[in-house]
Structure 1
Amino acid sequence: MSERAADRRAADADRDGERAATARVTRRQLLGTAGTAGVVGLAGCADRQYRSPADCSAITAAANDADGYVPLPADEGTSMFRRGLRRYGYYPEETVPDAVRVDWSFPTNRIGHTAAKSTPRPTPDGETVLVASDTGRIDAVTPTGEERWHLETGASRSLGFHGTPAIVDGVAYLGGYDGDCYAIDIGSGDVIWRTTAREFGGAIAIGSSPAYVDGSLYLLTEHKHPASGTVWELDAATGTPTWSDDRLWGMPHPSPAIDCETGRLVTGSNDGVVYCWEFPSLEFAWSFQAGGEGGPDGKSMAGGRFNLGAQIKGTIPVYDGAAFVGSWDGRFYRLDLADGSEEWSFDTGDVVMSNPAIDPEAGVVYVGGDDHHVYALDTDSGEELWSANVGGHVIGSLTATAETILVGSYDTHLYALDRETGDRRWRVANRGHVTSGAIPRDGRIYYAERGVFSNYYSDEETTLEEPGRAYCLVADE
């Protein structure tokens, strides 16, 4: 493992595990005490009588009509992180130019937190691009970079936004590191509703990007004392929680993936566990523990309830009856969605925390890691088809287009790799680490970077040298 990876692992452990090891009472007990969290007993209750399960029939029918691949959910007014419920990050109708230039950029990220940055999200009609910042600000701009509006939120008091909005019928849904979830009118920038951290059982953060099905949102919240997490279902019209399950340990960062055909909802957490529920009933189905025996420093969290070393921070795409999982144990897994059994694993030798992309037509999954490489793997066998060195850690999202894989690197470049060979088509130099996804839309590519900091990995005072920017690339004719 690289020195920087080890430093980041230690920093993450210190942050996530702060005071958790000395906790003497579980979060479930805390939430059960009179009025402590103000959530009327929501956490841990998976079968409330007023819940109406989501209807997956339209999505399943659309998937069948498209031979398993749906570019967007059945409703074309809907868009979300990794493009859809299965989280493929796949744009087969988009092509990437042979050469690009920066058409516009503006400063957006200013916080040193190393979590991957929010991915700019074009609206389904392509008229507006939403850029969520780690300062807690949201900018709505036109494709050519003119501001439509901006909104300063309560997330400015924390680490801002790292998740990506889900967009449904002109409304953007986004969780912040203040522990609140926001519904925002895209036309005006007005907040329609805001579900507070108190309603989420005292959540300290939401790094998860919501999924949307049939009037319901699905996301994860992070908690401490002890370090743990909860998966939630919300009424998208009101923000009211309608179901939750707090069995997760560690402070979870992934976004839930949903496969309506197989009837599964899947996510991972910092305890190195993959959790799976039946969908839409949300009865718990199975769990899978990745490797890791406490990591190089032997630390444990939540009073020793689990060890570090196998954290699952990337969103898990679901395809062909399987879940595809990267872990800090250095391996990338294919798990059977039916029962969670391991079908194969691929050893990278270093931390894997990126969000993989899947080409469902070719049966190839693309994943990057801390070993500076991007891998193309056969989804059936796990066989390596190619690998490419991108000069730095890959902790953000990979995007697959008609001919190209787009991937950001810690070496401050955005790379375009040939999808068939892994050969570099081009790279664009930026300022900070490129850790958001890159989104192609109508001849433009949108992405964001982390700010530039001095002394971040030392004992000296950390200083912001230059804010990270949001970018739009166009063809360089």
Structure 2
Amino acid sequence: MRDGSDAPRVSRRRLLAATGTVGAVGVGLAGCPDRVSRRIPDCGPVADAATAANGYVPLPADDDISMFRRGLRRYGYYPEATVPESVRVDWSTPVNRIGHTAAKSTPRPTPAGETVLIAGDTGVIHAFTPDGERRWRLETEASRSLGFHGTPAIVGDTAYIGGYDGGLYAVDVPAGELIWATRPRQFDGAIAIGSSPAYVDGTLYLLAEYSDPDSGALWEVDAATGAPTWSDDRLWGMPHPSPAIDCEAGRLVTGSNDGVVYCWEFPSLEFAWSFQAGGEGGPDGESKAGGAFRLGAQIKGTIPVYDGAAFVGSWDDRFYRLDLADGTEEWSFETGGIVMSNPAIDPDEGVVYVGSDDDTVYALDATTGEERWSADVGGNVIGSITATADTILVGSYDAHLYALEKDTGERRWRVENRGHVTSGAIPREDRIYYAERGVFSNHWDDDEETVLEEPGRAYCLVPDE
């Protein structure tokens, strides 16, 4: 086990138990009456498909599944998609009205592509046809909080998404109705679920966030009922990433706001290792009630897994390649700003694409970390990068969506929007879907009231012929 932290880690539940706040100590099934017995998921079909496809599975071993970053490995790669030489907005609709600075939910087409789900930060889930006709609108309990920022995992006719109210929702996609919804107490009092679920063999994996103290937990959930089956609350910081799973390597990996990468064996869920990123602030365990934080090293982006490695961006201005077996650092690349975007990987070319707060997208050799090209996109990159057959799609704080030539980084086009473009851009047939933040005045001024000037919209682009 590799653990680079500077102090012993104390789980949130152990800390609360020591102060008499809860009655159960440790990780696993104890302490929650809603939990059911764990059934080990079968990862074999996914691993076999990955081997047959040289590590890349477009829709993870099953064409009835669609999820954030395209699959369990979280590549964000669409090799069958090509991007038009020029585009226009075919339709758009307002979906985001909250000033919270987390990246916005990425629109997610259903596996067959007949419906596009868009989860808004108002707690409303929208369903549209590809042509922009509304199918339904579903308001949830997440409307009482900061809504949705994660992206649905869609399995057949059911979509699963966590909310900033601490609940997890299962939605009947054809009907637009709730199948089930959990309450925060079922996740030990979670205040938010910002991570996008991963799905394997009837089982969901996601991260939940807690306060007092700031902490998190990895949860395993029965997809049929919403009942938790297992958890590990060793995470510190309120984690936002979505778990990545490499069934072939037998690893599940994620990061958190404490600057730590956590890795479990999969599907046994025995803890494997942790890695501590840097950060000029140094460790701050005392102020975080036992968590060995490294200030300035937050890990907010989802970590893709490829070629026996995990690829990690940190607020310490670096992007890392870690050995999945033991967490050893294999290389790191320094950017000119914090790295919190979700990187894309092209496994055919062996290239990883990552964005930074230095307004730049980098194409790096996945094996060596050598820079192949860099491109200025005019603003911070905090959302998801998408790789297609010929193009990189990336949203920017400068209120544009960019299409960059994959081989050179040269700009093919950019589309001007209204707010910061922080969702991923999803190509599907001849269309591209993405979303932006709302436009606010006085957002960074503590002395003035923040005012929504214009709601953030979801967009559909088509070729400009």
- Report the TM-score range of the alignment, normalised by the length of the smaller protein: over 0.9
Aligned counterparts of 2:203 and 2:140: Cα–Cα separation in 1: 23
Shift of 1:31: 6.2
Is 2:278–2:294's contact at 8 Å kept on the other side of the alignment? no
Write the letter of the residue equivalent to 2:62.
Answer: D
Is 1:121 the equivalent of 2:111?
A: no
Aligned counterparts of 2:284 and 2:167: Cα–Cα separation in 1: 33
Match of 1:274 in 2: 261
Is 1:465 the equivalent of 2:448?
A: no
Match of 2:178 in 1: 191
1:227 aligned residue (210, 214, 223): 214
Structure 1 residues 304 and 55, CA, compared in 2 at 3 Å: closer, same or farther? closer
Is 1:260 the equivalent of 2:243?
A: no
1:85 aligned residue (72, 78, 101): 72
Match of 1:45 in 2: 28
Match of 1:452 in 2: 439
Write the letter of the residue equivalent to 1:286.
Answer: W
Is 1:96 the equivalent of 2:79?
A: no
Match of 2:14 in 1: 28
How is 1:362-441 mapped onto 2 (pairs within 5 angstroms)?
362-441=349-428
Shift of 1:110: 0.2
Deviations, residues 105-134 of structure 1 (Å, cap 9, x unaligned): 010100000100000000000000000000
* Aligned-residue CA RMSD (Å): 2.1
Match of 2:3 in 1: none
Is 1:32–1:41's contact at 8 Å kept on the other side of the alignment? no
Aligned counterparts of 2:291 and 2:389: Cα–Cα separation in 1: 47
Is 2:254–2:302's contact at 8 Å kept on the other side of the alignment? yes
Shift of 1:50: 2.6
Shift of 1:375: 0.1
Is 1:148 the equivalent of 2:135?
A: yes
Which deviates further from its counterpart, 292-301 or 123-132? 292-301
Is 1:174–1:209's contact at 8 Å kept on the other side of the alignment? yes
Deviations, residues 406-432 of structure 1 (Å, cap 9, x unaligned): 000000000000000000000000000
Match of 1:327 in 2: 314
Aligned counterparts of 1:287 and 1:46: Cα–Cα separation in 2: 22
Structure 1 residues 114 and 179, CA, compared in 2 at 3 Å: closer, same or farther? same
Is 1:249–1:271's contact at 8 Å kept on the other side of the alignment? yes
1:64 aligned residue (44, 48, 51): 51
Structure 1 residues 292 and 216, CA, compared in 2 at 3 Å: closer, same or farther? same
Shift of 1:33: 8.7
Deviations, residues 85-119 of structure 1 (Å, cap 9, x unaligned): 00000000001000000000010100000100000
Structure 1 residues 354 and 30, CA, compared in 2 at 3 Å: closer, same or farther? same
Structure 1 residues 285 and 303, CA, compared in 2 at 3 Å: closer, same or farther? closer
Aligned counterparts of 1:42 and 1:420: Cα–Cα separation in 2: 52
Is 1:300–1:306's contact at 8 Å kept on the other side of the alignment? no
Is 2:11–2:235's contact at 8 Å kept on the other side of the alignment? no
Is 2:119–2:125's contact at 8 Å kept on the other side of the alignment? yes
Shift of 1:293: 3.7
Is 1:294–1:300's contact at 8 Å kept on the other side of the alignment? no
Q: What SS is found at the alignment partner of 1:82? A: helix
Aligned counterparts of 1:292 and 1:114: Cα–Cα separation in 2: 21
Aligned counterparts of 1:60 and 1:420: Cα–Cα separation in 2: 30
Aligned counterparts of 1:304 and 1:155: Cα–Cα separation in 2: 28
Write the letter of the residue equivalent to 1:168.
Answer: V
Shift of 1:211: 0.1
Shift of 1:303: 5.7
Aligned counterparts of 1:304 and 1:339: Cα–Cα separation in 2: 22
Structure 1 residues 296 and 203, CA, compared in 2 at 3 Å: closer, same or farther? closer
Q: What SS is found at the alignment partner of 2:301? A: coil
1:175 aligned residue (141, 147, 162): 162
- Unpaired segments of 5 or more residues in structure 2? 1-9
TM-score, length-normalised on structure 1? 0.91
How is 1:193-342 mapped onto 2 (pairs within 5 angstroms)?
193-294=180-281, 300-302=287-289, 305-342=292-329
Structure 1 residues 26 and 214, CA, compared in 2 at 3 Å: closer, same or farther? closer
Is 1:43–1:244's contact at 8 Å kept on the other side of the alignment? no
Shift of 1:45: 1.4
Aligned residues: 451
Is 2:207–2:218's contact at 8 Å kept on the other side of the alignment? yes
Q: What SS is found at the alignment partner of 1:198? A: helix
Shift of 1:296: 12
Shift of 1:196: 1.2
Shift of 1:350: 1.2
Match of 2:99 in 1: 112
Q: What SS is found at the alignment partner of 2:240? A: coil
Identity percentage over the alignment?
76
Write the letter of the residue equivalent to 2:464.
Answer: D
Aligned counterparts of 1:462 and 1:221: Cα–Cα separation in 2: 28
- Unpaired segments of 5 or more residues in structure 1? 1-23
Write the letter of the residue equivalent to 1:475.
Answer: P
Structure 1 residues 215 and 343, CA, compared in 2 at 3 Å: closer, same or farther? same
Shift of 1:53: 1.0
Structure 1 residues 286 and 410, CA, compared in 2 at 3 Å: closer, same or farther? same
Aligned counterparts of 1:50 and 1:118: Cα–Cα separation in 2: 32
Shift of 1:236: 0.3
